[in-house]
Chain A
Amino acid sequence: MDSVFSNLTILLLFLTPVASTGLVTLFRKKRIIGVITICSALLILVQVFVIVSRIISEKTITAFGNMFYIDSLSTIILLSISIVGFVSALYSKNYMGRQYDHGTVDDKHLVRYYQGFNVFLLTMLVIPTANSMGIMWVALEATTLVSVLLIMLYYKENAIEAAWKYLIIATVGLSFALIGTVFFYYANINAGSADDAMNWTSMVHNSKLFNPNLIKIAFIFILVGYGTKAGLAPMHTWLPDAHSEAPTPVSAVLSGVLLNCAFYVIIRFHIISSNAIGPEFSNQLLIIFAVISVGIAAASLYFQKDMKRMLAFSSVEHMGLISLGIGFGGLLGVYGALLQIINHAIAKPLMFFASGTISQKYETKAMSKIKGIIKIMPVTGVLFLIGGLALVGMPPFNIFLSEFFILSSGFQSGQFLATSLVILFLIVTFAVFLRHLIKMIFGNPVVPMKKDDMGKLAIIPMMILGALVLILGVFVPQQLQTLVQNASTIINHGGFA
């Protein structure tokens, strides 16, 4: 009875985007397809809330034998996918509508866009729910392919270039990841597992028997491979291009969720490798990559001229912080990192939406040509400022909280060098980011423009996200706290809920 219910939960979760893709293909009308996508994203959100409530009471859900496995850790990712998916769908309606009016896209492109968007959501939903590491790999590779299609929606030179770089770099990165995955699989087979050797649960179960040297090599492959997809420096080079050239709602999903999905897989392997050889090895690696990421992001932010590229580098920085939290370990560090995943998934789309609206209004992404946002688009300007302040970690916004947890856990665990370096980089980021932001928001517009906030549908998703940024900065709801705490326990105690 119970398993039937679980099967249904998973099946419905996957069927929603599939059905929505089908409907989009069927109707092909500009008005309807946007609404269909919004409805399906809302449906996914509702289902995820159901899953959240179940997970809080039951800790794990397994479905279809052992094929799907959801615990608190996966639920956090599911939550970020569904929230960002919903607001992006909402924002797409306005954004793509404007692109249509502007003549950048035609009906065919719109249909393709919404199909891609739904399939993209589907592939991302598979990653946290799958139990088999192989299926996770396949789904992650599928996200690459779908998002490449979404990036090359526009026939622009830059879009083609970004899509090509993304395709090549991500595919090569994932091929490293596959080697690492096969190493883990091999270790699991040697440890005596048979049919379900690719399953995470089986790997965790046998992890004490794995050959330590093999696991070390395997984890390096995993970190380099999935780290490419997660945007950890120095494998991040595709990220600014792809994020800046994609249609804005897609950028939001790429940055807010896809990076998390890739990092989620790293966390899964981190748990196994910690079980097998103790946490020091993978922790050290994660910290090294984290410090490099934050450092490179800080340096690159200084030189940015393009608004969306600036946000993309800020994503690199935040992925670095998440990796830092996991690497520091301990209850506080992991708790902070997981909270950071959610907080970043809320704040970054807000910024992308705002910048998308702004660049549509100003018809440019160059920051030097954008001045006086607050005078022309008051609401968007305020939300843009809130998001920006949250991203640099100002109190009382949400990211401050998680960054604080992460950094204090760094001092607790005695990683003084890494922590102080990161703090230094964060200060640089803070100054540079705010400087860019203030120059854009205040001052007088270069060309006089009509005061206009670009429509309700553009504002509503931003309002939702802005409210969440504020609320999560002041207090974390009880349910979310339990969820994150459970997930931290999973990471710290070898995978069992």
Chain B
Amino acid sequence: MAEILVGIIQGLVIILLSPLITGIMRKTKARTQKRMGARLLQPYYDILKLIKKDEVISDQSSWIFRICPWVNFVALAAAAFFIPLFLTYSPFGLAGDLLLVIGLFALARFFTMLASLDVASSFGGLGSSREMMYSALLEPALFLTIFIVALTYGGTNLSTLVTEVSSATLLPHPQLIFAAIAMFVLVLGETGRLPFDNPSTHLELTMVHEAMILEYSGKSLALIEWSQAIKLLILLVLVVNIFVPWGISSSITIPALGIGFVSLFAKISILAIFIAYFESSIAKWRLFRIPDLVAVAIASSMIGIILYYIK
């Protein structure tokens, strides 16, 4: 019973905490650019405000456009329940496979791309074609990275994975360093962070994700923004729990869970701040240079696999 409860809490924490992480990243970026920036809780206010607003839907659009935000939100929120957060396993772990999580991401992305094509605005088409290119490029790197992790810890089930990770010593797996490098690039690409896409503007011709959701407003926009935040947090949690699982709790006792939560929150915040800082220090890359970066991720994960087999 307690397990189920903790599992539900884990999922809810991800869903509820995600706008805060987005807020932290925006604040960090603002500060590194010598701006004050909005409050940390601003994403929550945004979402509340958007929910209250009226929605404008193009009369050229079909049902796909209308259900897309819901599919997005449901898929990502469902994924949130499979992620071990501050407990080494998720009670819904039987279904909680890494590949399933990635499949849910792909579902959400697929619907976003369809919806952006649906309204027949030219930006939507641009955005979805770019998004397709990115996902096609990132796919091999993503799977190579998953291979490394799965090979090292024996399986893609997230719960067993994180349990294994938390009990292993860190150092004897050099392949994980390379997997982490690849994973970092992947996180940037999957969540549309800076060298791939600029998340803080919908006024650039080179935008990708923002171009796809340009037609949304009101409640739908709120859902999409929120699911983006959830996706970001899920990926950050995965990075943290797979590569630096220090402090995660393996038993259901209040102090252990508390420590787990606090350490997780600290690690996530540090990672988020690091990404934001990293974003401030670089500019968006030309679309055709992006494969260079993806090539680094692929190469890095290839080396990781080599290292695994050699040892």
A and B touch in the complex (CB under 8 A): no
Residues of A near any B CB (own CB < 8 A) = none
Q: Which residues of B contact A (CB under 8 A)?
A: none
